[in-house]
Amino acid sequence: MNDLSPVIEVDNLCKSFDGMEVLRSINFTVERGQIISIIGSSGSGKSTLLRCINWLEQPDRGTIRIVGNRIGIKDDGTPMSERELAKMRARMAMVFQGFNLWPHLNVLRNVTEAPVHVQGVAKDEAIAQAEVWLQRVGMLIKKDAYPYTLSGGQKQRVAIARALAMNPEVILFDEPTSALDPELVGEVQDVIGELAADNFTMVIVTHEMDFARSISNEVVFIDKGVVVEQAPPEKIFGNPETERLRQFVGKYR
Amino acid sequence: MTVWISGLSITLGVIAGFGVAVLRNANIPIVTQILTLYISVIRATPMITLVLFLFVMTPYLQVEIDRWIIAVAAMTINTTAFNAEIWRSALVTFSVEQIEAAKAAGMTRAQMLRRIMLPQMGITSLPGLVNEMTLLVKSSPAIAMVGIADLTRATNRITAITYKPLPPILAAAVLYLLIIGTMVWLQRKADKYAQRLAM
Amino acid sequence: MKLYDWLTVWLNIDRVMLGFGVTILFFSVATVTAFTGGCVFVYLMDGKQNILKRSLRSALDVLRTLPFLIVLYLLYYGLPQIGIRMTSWTAGMIALSVYHASYYAEILRGARVALPQGQMESAKAHGFTPFQMYYRILLPQMVLRSGPLFGNLLVGCLKDTAFLSIITIYELTAAANALQAVYFIPMPAFIIVIFLYWIISLILERLLRLMGRYSKHRGLSYE
């Protein structure tokens, strides 16, 4: 589907945990080919927001549409079953902070497992595709290795290949480099940067400011559950409007 | 009936198991081999088979032994083997530093065993030992084979009279549930206790 | 005296082998059924708790608290009273399978609880349905993690087959008993039979060690 409609539309998203409001009426849109970074301090709700998009967290109120289809709630207002949710999630992909590779499968299997069993792709085709993506992230030589032999950076790159193999409409990144040793952060950022250059639609939650600045075409700043500012990176980092954002960005100079 | 026999076997078994474990660890040439073999074979033998074996062996060897003693003997032999393994694991993982400290303080091996090692090993092994006790009670119906008035045997007798087996079986089931249930509860307590002392 | 006894056993070795075969048959079928049953039980008990799932869990707990013989008796002697009759073989097979399935379920449940939340999330995020997620991602890991614990269970199941002799199934222990009753040769008969039990358990242990190495190779076990 290569039309011009937005990939993700979030409307009036609200979510509370144990009575505490984590997200308060969030509105934003992700157009095709856009790369959006979500930044904010810990506890601002940015991870929760991302996880609502693929319904790993259930919002209390609001609508989320993925390429025009509402996720989580059917047209008649009843909640979606796990199977229906699975179908919608098959069109997106997520890269986790903790990598979450499947330890009982080798690298190649990790990348082909979802395409073969969720999307019904033929095995040979899946393997061929997987090798292309693994080559892309620089992990083809390790295709027969098992996750426990890999470093954090290598695992994350495999996770990215795994996400790409789904041919997703959008890739969601949940703090992809937060769990990595400093030396390994660069290799993962480089891979994501290359994907950005190829016009993949991506939503990245991160607290690496320079990274966000360099690869996104729009940055969303969330504080205490609301979208405080949303603008291209030059504006957010170079000329922040609100006081709160100025404080936040100031800490990272 | 079952309770007495099981209880006796359990007690004897725990003590004997400890003895076997220590003896085996002492590394006396032939003794260690024999004990290891004994443990391995008995752990693989069903309780029924063992009970039956002893039961038919005794008249053959022309010895007259009371059925009760056979039952206790069989269960004790069985549980000792398992307990020996449990004690062994506690023995082998016992901290070397403490042993050295005890040696340096001039303790003999026997003193060391009794004063330093046994108390701690007792606590470490507690969950495993209680677990084995539960298993023993679960296999105790086997002695019904030997015709001892067991819970199970009692249900047989009632059945023979009334031709209505279900109520007595259910009664036996409930009784076992209570006994074993209590033991499982005890085991969980033992687990928590051992963990709390973090040994 | 003794030598002659051994000869008698040898001449009747076919009877022993018949009993051996029956034991192996019951053991294998019951183990496969119990393992599968255990996996199914854990799948059913997974997820948000409700009355059904809690009842299942309680039922399985009760099963594990009972001696096997009681369960066997209930099935074979007790049920006919309320009109359900079955052959000794059926009762034996069902009892063995269901009883041990509850044990497999308990072990697998422990492994399930220990699985990192992230495994489930990454499976969900990639669009796996609950069943697929369970079968392809969670279950393999649960099984590999539990490896050593299955050992005790396997040997336990083997030993429980001996109880079947009480409801007149001609398995290994019954064969030993029959032989010695006819020929008055308790020593050799039982020694051979005990030896056979021993061999099987050694083989099982060996197989389990292999599986342990397999899972270590995938970085899944902690030995």
Tens digits of residue pLDDT in C12-50? 788 888 889 999 999 999 999 999 999 999 999 988 888
pLDDT in tens, A17-62: 888 888 888 888 898 889 999 998 887 788 889 999 988 888 888 8
| Mean pLDDT to the nearest integer, A97-116 | 90
Q: Three-class SS of residue B139?
A: helix
DSSP-assigned letters across all residues of B48-63: HHHHHHHHHHHHHTT-
CATH number of A1-91+172-253: 3.40.50.300
Residue B192 gets which letter from DSSP?
Answer: H
Q: Answer yes or no: are the C-beta atoms of A175 and A189 closer than 8 Å.
A: no
- Here the CATH number for the domain that contains residue B58 is 1.10.3720.10
Interface with chain C: mutation pick from B56, B70, B170, highest number of C CBs within 10 Å: B56
Sort strands A69-70 and A61-66 into parallel, antiparallel or unpaired. antiparallel
DSSP-assigned letters across all residues of C41-102: HHHHH-SS--HHHHHHHHHHHHHHHS-HHHHHHIIIIIGGGGT----HHHHHHHHHHHHHHH
What confidence tier does C166 reach under pLDDT thresholds 50, 70, 90? confident
Interface with chain C: mutation pick from A84, A100, A113, highest number of C CBs within 10 Å: A100
Confidence check: pLDDT of C191 > 80: yes
Which one has a higher pLDDT value, C146 or A130?
Answer: A130
d(CA A107, CA A131): 10
Q: If we measure between CA atoms, which residue out of A233, A253, A234, A203 comes closest to residue A51?
A: A203
Total count of domains within chain B: 1
**How much is the pLDDT for C27?**
94
**How much is the pLDDT for A45?**
83
| Mean pLDDT to the nearest integer, A96-106 | 89
Chains near C (3 or more Cβ pairs under 8 Å): A, B
Averaged pLDDT score across all residues of chain A: 88
**How much is the pLDDT for B149?**
43
Confidence check: pLDDT of C164 > 80: yes
Complex ipTM more than 0.90, yes or no: no
Taking an 8 Å cut-off on Cβ atoms, the answer to whether C129 and A104 are in contact is no
**How much is the pLDDT for C222?**
42
The amino acid at residue B136 is: L
Confidence check: pLDDT of C221 > 70: no
Tell me, yes or no, if C179 comes closer than 8 A to chain B by beta carbon: no
For residues B131, B133, B138 and B143, what is the CA-based torsion angle, rounded to 10 degrees? 160
User: Number of A:C CB contacts under 8 A?
Assistant: 85
What confidence tier does B157 reach under pLDDT thresholds 50, 70, 90? low
Residue carrying the six token digits 């009762």: C91
| Mean pLDDT to the nearest integer, C148-169 | 87
A114 CB neighbours in chain C (<8 A) are 126-128
* Tokens linked to C213: 């190495």
Confidence check: pLDDT of C73 > 50: yes
Residue A230 gets which letter from DSSP?
Answer: E
What confidence tier does B156 reach under pLDDT thresholds 50, 70, 90? low
Asked whether residue C222 is assigned to any structural domain, the reply reads no
Averaged pLDDT score across all residues of chain B: 79
Tell me, yes or no, if C73 comes closer than 8 A to chain B by beta carbon: yes
| Mean pLDDT to the nearest integer, C83-89 | 83
- Here the CATH number for the domain that contains residue C9 is 1.10.3720.10
CA A15 distance to own-chain centroid: 19
Q: Three-class SS of residue A58?
A: coil
**How much is the pLDDT for B112?**
80
**How much is the pLDDT for A25?**
86
Total count of domains within chain C: 1
> Sign (positive/negative) of CA torsion A50, A53, A56, A58?
positive
Q: Three-class SS of residue A200?
A: coil
Residue A81 gets which letter from DSSP?
Answer: P
Q: Beta partners for A9?
A: A29, A65
Q: If we measure between CA atoms, which residue out of A44, A90, A71 comes closest to residue A229?
A: A44
| Composition of chain B by helix, strand, coil, percent to 5 | 85, 0, 15
Q: Residue B127: CA atoms inside 13 Å, Cβ hemisphere, count?
A: 14
pTM over 0.90: no
- Of the listed ranges A176-180, B58-62, B134-138, B163-167, the least confidently predicted one is B163-167
**How much is the pLDDT for B16?**
86
Asked whether residue C223 is assigned to any structural domain, the reply reads no
Q: Where are the domains of chain A?
A: 1-91+172-253, 101-168
Interface with chain C: mutation pick from A104, A118, A146, highest number of C CBs within 10 Å: A104
Q: If we measure between CA atoms, which residue out of C206, C48, C67 comes closest to residue C130?
A: C48
Residue range of the domain that includes B36: 2-196
Confidence check: pLDDT of C85 > 70: yes
Tell me, yes or no, if C182 comes closer than 8 A to chain B by beta carbon: no
The terminus-to-terminus CA distance of chain B in angstroms comes to 37
Confidence check: pLDDT of B154 > 60: no
What confidence tier does C223 reach under pLDDT thresholds 50, 70, 90? very low
Residue range of the domain that includes C198: 2-217
